[in-house]
Structure 1
Amino acid sequence: MSTNLSVVKGAYEAFARGDIPAVLAVIADDVEWRVVGPASLPFPRACRNKEEVGAFFKALAESDDISQFETREYIDAGDHIVTLGFVKSTIRSTGEPLESEWIHVITVKNGLLTRFVEFFDTAAREGH
């Protein structure tokens, strides 16, 4: 396993145990962090620094009660790691369930995440 893959896996493990400070510890000060989707999403879609990424995680926790978050496959391409996974949650504002597969495209340089782009089924969230 590459060092970059180890960094990414460690970040997912920290997220799974709710340790957001440990996730933020591996985020570069100058980061490109995006969730691709409509402006109606309840959490920030573009972040440029750790503080904004921290706000993203806060907004995500306020919006969704995640009951299942699985990383199903890692594709290691050196500085670029692609992760395929699945999420199941309840939208807090409506109590409605949400399920989606997702793809994360991550760039790691010098042991830090410098880019994170998320794609998921935004239509599954439509109207929520």
Structure 2
Amino acid sequence: MTTQPIDIVRAHYAASAQGNVQEMMANVSPQVRWTEMAGFPCAGTWVGPQAVAENVFAVLGRDWIGYRFELQTLIDAGDQVIGVGTYHGTFRATGKAMQARVAHVWKVQDGQIMAFEQFTDTLLVRQAMGNAP
């Protein structure tokens, strides 16, 4: 089992690239606090892997075509890891494509992801969504 925080986050991103939600959630704590930025389609703080899967990944998969995160840089800060990259996708309801830069801040303790916080340009996401809620 991988125990270094950067390796745990790297494994999450690799599973995400394959669309494997089960593997993405493999090292997520039952008490994880997962925060999607205000203005983002899945905005809020979700507690627990099931809440994250249902309120973030299922919603993005349902509402977006080809939604993905492309990792550019992974920064090792001990028990915190920062992933920097770009979101891509086409909003299903409008057919408009989106590309937005993003930073993810991860907190990993004892081999488990305890917290996640997203920072992105929500205006670019909202422009693709048009007037959708």
TM over 0.5: yes
Residue in 1 that maps onto 2:114: 114
The Cα of 1:47 is off from its aligned counterpart by 0.5
What's the offset of the Cα at 1:74?
1.0
Secondary structure of the structure 2 residue equivalent to 1:95: coil
Structure 1 residue 51 corresponds to structure 2 residue 50: yes
- Gaps (5+ residues) in structure 2? none
1:8 — aligned with what? 9
Q: Distance in 2 between matches of 1:14 and 1:124?
A: 25
How many positions carry a matched residue from both structures? 125
1:68 positional shift: 5.0
Q: Report the equivalent of 2:22.
A: 21
Give the secondary-structure state (helix, strand or coil) at the position aligned to 2:38: coil
Match of 2:70 in 1: 70
Name the residue aligned to 1:91. Answer: 91
Distance 1:96 1:57 in 2: 20
1:69 & 1:29 partners in 2: Cα distance? 24
Cα distance, 1:3 vs. partner?
Answer: 1.2
Identity %, equivalent residues = 26
Q: Which runs of 4+ in 1 moved over 6 A?
A: none
**What do residues 30-74 of structure 1 show as CA deviations (whole Å, max 9, x unaligned)?**
011011122xx4325220111101112101111222355311111
Report SS of the residue matched to 1:59: helix
Normalising by structure 2, we get a TM-score of 0.87
CA contact (8 A) 1:34 1:118 kept: yes
Q: Secondary structure of 2:19's match?
A: coil
Matched AA of 2:87: V
Contact kept in structure 1, 2:100 and 2:125, CA below 8 Å: no
Q: Structure 1 residues 123, 52: CA separation in 2 closer, same or farther (over 3 Å shift)?
A: same
Distance 2:83 2:41 in 1: 23
